[in-house]
Amino acid sequence: MTVASQQPVPTTKLTGRDLYKHMGSPKKIVAPMVDQSELAWRRLSRQLGADLCYTPMFHAKQFATVEKYRAQMFDALDGDKTADRPLVVQFCANDPETLLQAAKFVEDHCDAVDLNLGCPQNIAKKGKYGSFLQDDWDLIYKLINILHVNLSVPVTAKIRMFTSKERTLEYAKMILSAGAQILTVHGRTREMKGQQTGLADWSIIRYLRDNLPPDTVIFANGNLLYHEDISRCLEATGADAVMSAEGNLHNPALFCQPLSYSTSIPAHEDIDVLYPRLDILLRRYFNVLKDTPGEASRIAAKSHLFRILRPFLGIHIDVRAEVAALHKQSPIEDFATITEHVEKIVHNLLLDQNNRERDIVRRSHQPLDDSGAVYKDIPYWRAQPYFKPVSGQILYGGKRKLEESAEIPDNADKREKLQVVSTKQAASS
């Protein structure tokens, strides 16, 4: 494909608010993640309430020039109009012509193409893409504009913020002026990663909402741990929708219930819906995986098992060993064996009357910050959020810790008994 021969497409393609409505006015969105939002995971997430999904981040140069990579990452069923829509395909790139060449391969199989301007990892720094482009506004403009002018589908962008809200606003305005039709804002700077992750700043997303044209479509990314955080985020930011990465990976049922648009926690949560038992969730994932074609879903499965089963594997180390032994050529029967093993363990756990009595969600007695967020203790045999360890402690904020002892099952992993403190430096989700 020679990109130079491409002619501008008619400007009748969907823009901004019309694109958002065309995609069903989504509220709950699965984020683009490296090798982790592939087809099988998107299918599972859609079953569990996701309204819109992004593909994994694809490397534009490899996608454009390496047929094997392209075939592995984007199979025939990816973007299928009946099975995998609405869908946004995301690329990282630093060369406009190469980005366009890559995007041309997918424009007939998605609703929009997204430019990754948010990846904060060192590999992005070395490759000069993701958040490490945010100091080169001329290049970003060219990357977005070439897609805006030449693709038959709209272009969108996912960004991180600057430390200055005013600088972030000017950045957002530039990206929109280049032709981006939807702006996803991760409320963290590029320095906020790993041990320095911290809490996403919803106030800057609100600042963008209040200072960009009212019709601008904004998706908010960051701080989704529990289902009620969705409504909390929408209310705090004024965004059109929320996007989740880590929260979705550890508990894909995060999106399961319809939104109540209330920031309060219901008196009685449906534990089986919002925090499904791991044996039931794993069986559901396995049933999707075995029926999903393509290499990408099978390659990603091992990582998904580690995340889904994270609270479980520290206790049942025999299952951990089975998951660790998986590789990209592992037959589907190996996944079936692990699924059956987990089912047997959970079944036997719940034969114990003590465990059945503990099979409830316990909340901290007081909000942990001014937003009303609370910590919940969820039985380890159920899906739950991930709290990033910082300096050897599992943090849920700053200084207050949840009571331990009876709130945690006797056989729980000792690491789960570390201090749990307020949301000011919470997990990255």
Q: Of 238, 255, 274, which one is at a domain's C-terminal end?
A: 274
Whether the upstream peptide bond of residue 276 has omega within 30° of 0, thus cis, is no
For the residues of 345-380, what is the DSSP string, one character each? HHHHHTTSHHHHHH-S-EE-SS-SSTT----EE--T
Residue 328, pLDDT score: 87
What tokens appear for 34 in the block?
């490296």
Final residue in a domain of this structure, among 274, 308, 341: 274
> Do 262 and 307 fall into the same domain?
no
Query: Does one domain contain both 249 and 304?
Result: no
pLDDT at 263 over 60: no
Return the minimum-mean-pLDDT range out of 94-103, 296-305, 306-315, 369-378.
Answer: 369-378
pLDDT surpassing 80 at residue 298: yes
Per-residue pLDDT reduced to its tens digit, 16-25: 999 999 999 9
Q: How confident is the model at residue 368 (pLDDT cuts 50, 70, 90)?
A: low
Q: Is the model's pLDDT at 398 over the cut of 50? A: no
Question: Is residue 372 situated within a structural domain?
Answer: no
Distance, CA of 384 to CA of 277 (rounded, Å):
10
CATH number of the CATH domain containing 69: 3.20.20.70
Burial of 268 (0-12, 13-18, 19+ CB in 10 A): exposed
Instruction: Tell me how far apart the alpha carbons of residues 24 and 206 are, in angstroms, rounded to a whole number.
Output: 23
Residue 314 has pLDDT above 60, yes or no: yes
Determine the pLDDT at residue 191: 73
Find the catalytic residue in 53, 92, 110, 119: 119
How many angstroms separate the first and last alpha carbons of the chain? 38
Kindly state whether residues 137 and 252 are assigned to the same domain.
yes
* Res 306 pLDDT > 60: yes
> Sorting pLDDT into bands at 50, 70 and 90, what band is 266?
low
Domain identity same for 90 and 171? yes
Give the global pTM. 0.87
pLDDT given for residue 376 in this prediction: 86
Q: How many CB atoms lie within 10 A of CB 159?
A: 26
The reply to whether 303 and 204 lie within a common domain is no
92 in active site: no
Mean pLDDT of the 331-360 span: 97
Instruction: Look at residue 389 and tell me whether its pLDDT is greater than 90.
Output: no
Q: Give the C-alpha separation, 414 to 185, whole Å.
A: 36
Please state the rounded mean pLDDT for residues 50-79.
96
What does the pLDDT average to over 382-392? Answer: 73
Q: Which residue type, as a one-letter code, is found at position 193?
A: K
Residue 427 has pLDDT above 50, yes or no: no
Residue 1 confidence (pLDDT): 33
Among 240, 274, 308, the domain boundary falls at 274
Question: Domain total for the chain?
Answer: 2
Domain that holds residue 170: 3-274
d(CA 137, CA 143): 10
Instruction: Output the pLDDT for position 363.
Output: 81
- pLDDT value of position 121: 74
How far apart (Å, rounded) are the C-alpha atoms in residues 83 and 98?
A: 29
Decide if pLDDT at 27 tops 60.
Answer: yes
Mean pLDDT, to the nearest integer, of 53-82? 95
